[in-house]
Every structure is written in structure tokens, then in C-alpha cells.
Amino acid sequence: MTADLLAAAAAAPGFMPPDEGRALYEAARAVAVPGPLLEIGSWMGKSALYLAAAARETGRQVVTVDHHRGSEEHQPGWEYHDPALVDPLVGRVDTLPAFRRTIAAAGAEDVVVAVVTRSELLAPLWSTPLALLFLDGSHTEESARRDQDAWVGKLAVGGTLAVHDVFPDPADGGQAPFGVYSRVLASGEFTELPGTGSLRLLRRTG
């Protein structure tokens, strides 16, 4: 079953390279503290399946948080806009149907719980300590900082924070996730674990 989920994750649409997806899976599988795995930013479910593979092995649940209206780069006129994802009834991007198909086709509906909302709206309602938090939402400075402020404090001591698209060199990509990673590391409450590509992993120690 794990092999099937990993194969489905690799084949699913999305922007996560296979080595980073596998590293996310390994990080989620290795977390020793209890609690769910929660991701901010799901797109069409690719990363959710990597997390689902670990959750299936370890008896956890994956919670995905996404408004499914797309980030800035997915809007009309931007680089990653796909007109096929626009709901003609409302004239806005809607990735939820594609996400649901991805999760259902992989047989992962029993371990993946989708919450359709903006992360900052859910955060005040959330009290369960997280075993793993994966930050991969909108990459503007404002939204990345908002996700950090809302969710990092909900990670259990001993839990793992995963931040995607961390590029120290501005020539390689946007700097908002790198800012999150840098601020969290500078807090003194986390130690860095080996990362892969643009995926950075940190363990909460205090």
C-alpha cells in the first residue's frame, strides 16, 4: 500500500520534485511524537499523498488546509495559470475537484482530511499539537509570515517543521519561504535536520 501511494504521489500533478517528495515522506514517517500531519497548501494533492504514505504506515491522519483558489502565480495572466482549472460558474480557480480526484484515485480518503479554508481562519480553532507541519502555501512575504505566525507554535516539541521552496539565492526563487526558515531557525527553538533540494526540515526542541 505504501508503494502504491508513493507511486501515485510521483505521478500526481504538482510542483514537488520526486527527491523532495520522498524526503517529505521519510521525514513524516520518522516523527516520534504523537499527533497528525498537517500541510498548508495542497494544490492538487501531490504532497498530500507523500504524507498519506507515511500516515498509513504510522497510524496517523493527514490534514490538508487550502482554500483551493490558487496562489498568486495561478491567477489569470500569471505564469502558472491553467484556464482548465477555472470554475465557469464563479469565474475563479478551483483546484478542489482535482484534489479530490487525486486522493480518491490513490485510495487515500481514509487518511487524508481536507479542510477548505484559508489557513489563518482555521488556526484559531485548532488546538491539537502537530507531529509534522508542512508549509507550502502562497509564497508572498505577507502570506508566508502569516502561516508561520499562525501555525508554527502549534507544532509539538519533538515535532518536525518542513518548509518547501527555500532558496537562499534570490536568483533561484522567491525569498518568502527562506525568510520563514531563517526566522524559525533564529528563534533558538529548532534544530535543523538534513534537507533535500528546496525542502528544509527542522525539529522543534523547545
Please give the chain's pLDDT, 206 residues, in tens: 789 999 999 999 988 999 999 999 999 999 999 999 999 999 999 999 999 999 999 999 999 999 988 766 666 765 666 777 777 777 678 999 999 999 999 999 999 999 999 999 999 999 999 999 999 988 888 889 999 999 999 999 999 999 999 999 988 888 899 999 999 999 999 999 999 999 999 999 98
Residue 16, amino acid: M
Reply yes or no on whether 67 is catalytic: no
What interhelical angle do 96-105 and 46-58 show, nearest 10? 40
Closest among 96, 173, 72 to 200, alpha carbons compared: 173
Looking at the domain 2-64+95-191, which fold is it?
Rossmann fold (3.40.50)
Three-state secondary structure along the chain? CHHHHHHHHHHCCCCCCHHHHHHHHHHHHHCCCCCCEEEECCCCCHHHHHHHHHHHHHCCCEEEECCCCCCHHHCCCCCCCCHHHEECCCCEECCHHHHHHHHHHCCCCCCEEEECCCHHHHHHHCCCCEEEEEECCCCCHHHHHHHHHHHHHHEEEEEEEEECCCCCCCCCCCCHHHHHHHHHHHCCCEEEEEEECCEEEEEECC
Q: Which residue of the set 67, 68, 74, 139 is catalytic?
A: 139
In the chain, where are the structural domains located? Answer: 2-64+95-191
